[in-house]
């Protein structure tokens, strides 16, 4: 099985020992505490689940700057984005060596993790500007990732964490949320050797489904892990429970038994395009995937990134040997009227745009809202019905 990044075995930051967990929960109630941002909470969950292996906690400003500028921390290790715990104010924890981090996304702000504080630093405007530009390739506040990153505060608290809870993800998505440890174990139990992962924050239309089949066939994979983001999205994106139901129905009906796992992870979308694609590959290796599908405008938003920037970054910027996982590079997929099947558009010779079944997101949402299923060349009818029910519930 493919090794995790930076260690022979996964080193999740979640405290699994029951007695130790109970002891730390009791200790946490006696510690100075602070409610952290949603983005920081997602980072804590990812560290707890082993996806960010071998990261032990939140980065110092120096490490965060290294991750942003070179994808390399001060100790020489590889990490593709800053992982910061940014606060608007640190008065409640100033001078403390051990603190409790509280969850912003659950009622009552329960304890998410305990941190051994290494440093409390102020991030300068210039440093925030560099990190924003390097990670998001823009400083435009209209970019949802830029707005979220810059809206957290300027005080960075760094140090190793012991994670005590997986936030609302485990409670709200008990059948879907899985840690990197659990996915590795299931891959082993299923006997899969070559595994391709597919990232999604949306329901999967026919083109996505066929792209997964293409990747499995061309790579000779035993299994597919459909790995959906369960955290916060931008306004207008379809909620996770609806996506989950639609994807499960597709797998149930259109994938052979023991060929696909439907799983999810707790993290807020960055919409950072190329840099987020590298992060996605990073934690897919940690969860045991040997290959990862990256298509056109992966993890992008608006017109901030070129169509294939999320693929070329692996050639141009990722340090050589940083990851073992291999990238399956895909183009846009669509139904060819000429060939009567889904194809990668770049592989379809003698085709014009009108030879494909192409529908805009706006058009699809309009159809679903009116109770009209998109054509079968675009979406499976059973999947479309789940989405129709959702959109009509909004009216």
What tokens does 186 get? 């299931």
String of b and e for 36-71 (b: at least 16 CB within 10 Å)? bbbbbbbbbbbbbbbbbbbbebbbbbebbbbbbeeb
Catalytic residue among 98, 201, 329, 365: 201
CA pair distance 395, 386, nearest whole angstrom: 15
What tokens does 185 get? 């174990």
Cβ neighbors of 10 (< 8 A, separation 6 or more) are 4, 50, 53, 180, 181, 184, 286
Q: In the annotation, is 201 catalytic?
A: yes
Adjacent-strand bridge partners of 235? none
CB atoms within 10 A of CB 384: 23
Write the DSSP symbol of residue 100. Answer: E
Closest CA to 329 of 346, 350, 351: 346
- First vs last C-alpha separation in the chain: 48
CA pair distance 33, 256, nearest whole angstrom: 49
Q: For 45-192, where are the E strands, in sequence order?
A: 57-58, 86-87, 98-102, 111-122, 155-163
Catalytic residue among 154, 202, 248, 329: 202
Contact (Cβ atoms closer than 8 angstroms) between residue 246 and residue 228: no
Q: In the annotation, is 286 catalytic?
A: no
Closest CA to 180 of 285, 290, 278: 285
Tokens 């130790």 belong to: 20
Closest CA to 146 of 34, 304, 313: 304
Catalytic residues: 201-202
């Amino acid at each position: 099985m493919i090794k995790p990044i930076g260690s022979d075995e996964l080193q999740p930051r979640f405290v699994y020992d029951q007695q130790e967990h109970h002891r730390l929960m009791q200790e946490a109630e006696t510690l100075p505490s602070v409610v952290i941002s949603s983005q920081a909470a997602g980072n804590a969950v990812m560290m707890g689940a082993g996806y960010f292996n071998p990261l032990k906690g939140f980065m110092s400003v120096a490490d965060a700057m290294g991750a942003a500028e070179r994808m390399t921390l001060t100790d020489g290790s590889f990490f593709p984005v800053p992982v910061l715990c940014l606060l608007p104010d640190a008065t409640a924890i100033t001078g403390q060596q051990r603190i409790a981090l509280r969850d912003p996304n659950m009622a009552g702000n329960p304890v998410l993790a305990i941190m051994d504080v290494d440093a409390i630093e102020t991030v300068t405007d210039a440093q925030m500007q560099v990190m924003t530009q390097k990670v998001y390739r823009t400083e435009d506040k209209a970019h949802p990732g830029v707005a979220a990153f810059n809206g957290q505060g300027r005080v960075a608290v760094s140090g190793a964490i012991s994670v005590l809870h997986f936030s609302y993800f485990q409670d709200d998505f008990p059948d879907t949320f899985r840690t990197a440890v659990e996915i590795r174990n299931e891959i082993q139990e299923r006997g899969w050797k070559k595994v391709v992962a597919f990232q999604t924050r949306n329901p999967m239309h026919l083109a996505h489904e066929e792209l997964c089949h293409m990747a499995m066939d061309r790579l000779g994979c035993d299994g597919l892990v459909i790995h959906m983001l369960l955290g916060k999205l931008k306004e207008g994106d379809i909620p996770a429970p609806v996506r989950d139901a639609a994807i499960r129905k597709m797998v149930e009906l259109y994938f052979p038994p023991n060929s696909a796992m439907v799983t999810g992870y707790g993290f807020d979308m960055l919409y950072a395009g190329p840099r987020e694609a590298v992060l996605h590959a990073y934690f897919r290796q940690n969860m045991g995937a040997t290959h990862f599908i990256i298509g056109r405008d992966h993890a992008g938003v608006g017109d901030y990134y070129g169509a294939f920037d999320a693929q070329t970054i692996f050639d141009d910027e990722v340090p050589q040997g940083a990851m073992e996982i291999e990238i399956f590079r895909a183009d846009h997929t669509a139904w060819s009227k000429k060939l009567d099947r889904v194809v990668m558009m770049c592989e379809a010779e003698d085709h014009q745009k009108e030879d494909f079944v192409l529908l805009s997101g706006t058009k699809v949402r309009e159809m679903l809202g009116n109770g009209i299923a998109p054509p079968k060349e675009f979406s499976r009818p059973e999947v479309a019905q789940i989405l129709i029910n959702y959109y009509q519930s909004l009216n």
